[in-house]
């Protein structure tokens, strides 16, 4: 029995360490470092209600960072299994393309939608739906931080819903669009300019 317990403990420790190393590798990418050191502190300083879309093990430490000065973070993911990496007590499983129905009673000051267009929300039609649905749950002047990869999808600023509802915005001292030399990631900051209804 003791042997079995210690074998299990070694196995779980190995699994935990492998997962931690994977998360550390992702968090060390230049786009993640900018997210953690510039966008998240600036959004945290703005406060209010913040929606984080797409939850993985490596995003779990971003919610307390966003909440450090009083903001309230909600999280969502289409994958029910991702709930364990969501904000405890404030997570809803749902499809970004219908996120206005998932959060029909909340209006957000900011949405962080990083690595979801092109990682599940892939067709231009679904991206149009997602942009419209996100516009529907932002407060007037609310901010959308959209992270995407230019080797995965076409420029989301060319979607008709983006032009219809959003204008360019700023988070902290970052320009509206940020690109990287070493990775294909792009960040766009958008501000809700016209309400959906
Ligand atoms: C590459 S991960 C990005 C995770 C995280 N947002 C980040 O900053 O890296 C993509 C995530 O989007 C979720 N996802 C894919 N399609 C979705 C959809 N239609 N609605 C909500 N979440 C979706 C996946 O389940 C996955 O957790």
Position 10 scores a pLDDT of 67
Pairing of strands 185-192, 138-149: antiparallel
Q: For residue 143, what pLDDT is reported?
A: 98
Is the CB of residue 121 below 6 angstroms from any atom belonging to ligand 1?
Answer: yes
Helices (H), 47-91: 62-66
At residue 25, the pLDDT reads 85
User: Any residues with CB less than 8 A from the CB of 73 and at least 6 apart, and which?
Assistant: 50, 51, 52, 63, 66, 67, 87, 90
**Closest protein CA for atom 15 of ligand 1:** 120
The C-alpha atoms of residue 55 and residue 82 are separated, in whole angstroms, by 6
| 160 Cα: distance to centroid of ligand 1 (angstroms) | 22
Q: What pLDDT score was predicted for residue 29? A: 96
The reported pLDDT for the residue numbered 13 is: 72
Q: How far apart are CA 2 and CA 5, in angstroms?
A: 5
Residue 27's pLDDT is: 85
Structural domain boundaries of the chain? 29-192
Residue positions counted in the chain: 197
pLDDT of residue 5: 63
Tell me the whole-structure pTM to 2 decimals.
Answer: 0.92
Hey, which bits of the chain come out as E strands?
Answer: 49-53, 72-77, 91-93, 108-114, 138-149, 166-168, 177-179, 185-192
Please state, as a whole number, how many other Cβ atoms lie within 10 Å of the Cβ of residue 177: 13
| pLDDT tens for the 197 residues of the chain, in order | 677 667 666 676 766 666 666 678 888 999 999 999 999 999 999 999 999 999 999 999 999 999 999 999 999 999 999 999 999 999 999 999 999 999 999 999 999 999 999 999 999 999 999 999 999 999 999 999 999 999 999 999 999 999 999 999 999 999 999 999 999 999 999 999 998 98
Q: What is the pLDDT of residue 101?
A: 98
The ligand 1 atom nearest the CA atom of 62: 8
Ligand 1 lined by 114 (C-beta under 6 Å):
yes
CATH superfamily of this structure's domain 29-192: Vaccinia Virus protein VP39 (3.40.50.150)
Residue nearest atom 13 of ligand 1, based on CA coordinates: 54
Q: What is the pLDDT of residue 191?
A: 98
Rg (CA), the chain: 18
Cα separation, 176 vs 42, whole angstroms: 14
pLDDT at residue number 195: 87
Distance CA 113, CA 177 (A): 14
Report the SS3 class of residue 105: coil
């Amino acid at each position: 029995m003791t042997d079995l317990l210690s074998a299990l403990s070694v196995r779980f420790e190995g699994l935990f360490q492998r997962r931690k190393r994977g998360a550390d590798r992702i968090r060390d990418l230049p786009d993640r470092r900018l997210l953690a050191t510039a966008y998240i502190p600036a959004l945290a300083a703005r406060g209010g209600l913040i929606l984080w879309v797409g939850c993985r093990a490596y995003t779990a430490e971003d919610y307390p960072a966003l909440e450090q000065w009083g903001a309230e973070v909600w999280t969502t993911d289409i994958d029910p299994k991702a709930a364990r990496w969501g904000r405890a007590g404030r997570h809803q499983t749902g499809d970004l393309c219908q996120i206005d129905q998932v959060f029909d009673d909340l209006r957000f000051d900011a949405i962080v939608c990083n690595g979801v267009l092109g990682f599940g929300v892939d067709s231009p039609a679904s991206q149009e739906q997602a942009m419209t649905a996100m516009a529907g749950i932002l407060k007037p002047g609310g901010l959308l931080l959209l992270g995407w990869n230019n080797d995965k999808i076409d420029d989301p600023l060319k979607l008709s819903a983006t032009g219809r509802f959003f204008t360019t915005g700023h988070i902290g001292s970052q320009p509206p669009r940020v690109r990287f030399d070493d990775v294909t990631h792009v960040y766009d900051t958008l501000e809700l300019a016209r309400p959906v209804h």
